[in-house]
Amino acid sequence: MKQPTLKTPANACDAHIHIIDPRFAPADPATPAAQGQSLADYRTVQTQLGLRRAVIVQAKYYATDNRCTLDAIAQMQGQARGIAVVDTRVTDKELVRLHEGGIRGLRFSLWNAGNQVVSVDMIRPLAERIAELGWHAQIHMAAEQILEQQSLLATLPVPVVFDHMGRLPAGANASHPAFRFIARLIDADKAWVKLSGPYLNTIEGGPRFSDVRTLARDFATLAPQRMVWGSDWPHVTEQHKPDDGELLGLLLEWTGSDAARQAILVDNPAQLYGFDG
């Protein structure tokens, strides 16, 4: 892994990682065992990148069994928060237990109909239940899905965090209808965006992902105070893994100042996920 070309500030946060630990069985017993994706593996990457905090996003590998995520949060001793996956059968007692374990949001990953764990019709009822906990809804949808669900997303009683720059297509910019919708939510103090996963939307490929650069810059220019950055480690969708140092270094191309990077890496995740200090 290459060393990032930017100097990471104190308390910098990787706001999107997944942990898969062989101590915890997958939701589907037929799923092959995952290797090299445990918290211990990530801590090596974290140290090399000069990061301290992390947001652990529940992996589809575990469906709605959040034990691995909670375990990883606990191991990080106050330097991690989590995003859980539950369905509408979850009890209020379980939501409180998740909150006490460091969970601060629910993820709805709906871009791929073939492996969805939750459904669109679960978003509002679950959002209404987590509002009093101060959580948010993390949305992983393709741009066209976001546009189809505008009325739902705009009226949720919790903030919305858009995964992977809203999954807008390669070459998209601030003129794209999904960008304009997300911008309206940000202006209304209802949304955040993760500057993550450029390899999910590129045609040109890495390591610079130049056909995603304009979109990332437009988001960062629009509202640096509403952006967070995530590596998406261990890049479970990718056969050829990107270099995490290069991914972090892209913030130099996407942002215009040290102040913006301080906000994206430290101040914004501290506010969004409730880190102390």
- The band of 30, judged by pLDDT with boundaries at 50, 70 and 90, is confident
Looking at the domain assignment, is residue 3 inside a domain?
no
Q: Which residues are catalytic?
A: 232
- pLDDT for 35 equals 87
Looking at the domain assignment, is residue 170 inside a domain?
yes
Q: In the sheet that 103-109 helps form, which strands lie side by side, from edge to edge? A: 13-17, 53-57, 80-84, 103-109, 136-140, 160-162, 191-195, 227-229
We report the CATH number of the domain holding residue 195 as: 3.20.20.140
Q: Calculate mean pLDDT across residues 149-155.
A: 98
Range of the domain at 227: 13-271
The whole-model pTM stands at 0.96
Query: Shortest CA distance to 49 belongs to which of 91, 19, 5?
Result: 5
Looking at the domain assignment, is residue 2 inside a domain?
no
- The band of 186, judged by pLDDT with boundaries at 50, 70 and 90, is very high
- What is the domain count for the chain? 1
Percent of the chain whose predicted confidence (pLDDT) is above 70: 100
Looking at the domain assignment, is residue 266 inside a domain?
yes
Measured distance CA(148)–CA(195) in Å, rounded: 22
Summarised one tens digit per residue, pLDDT across range 190-231 is: 999 999 999 999 999 999 999 999 999 999 999 999 999 999
Question: Does residue 277 carry a pLDDT above 70?
Answer: no
Q: Calculate mean pLDDT across residues 150-157.
A: 98
- The band of 54, judged by pLDDT with boundaries at 50, 70 and 90, is very high
Looking at the domain assignment, is residue 62 inside a domain?
yes
Q: Calculate mean pLDDT across residues 129-153.
A: 98
- pLDDT for 113 equals 78
Question: Does residue 128 carry a pLDDT above 90?
Answer: yes
- pLDDT for 276 equals 78
- pLDDT for 3 equals 76
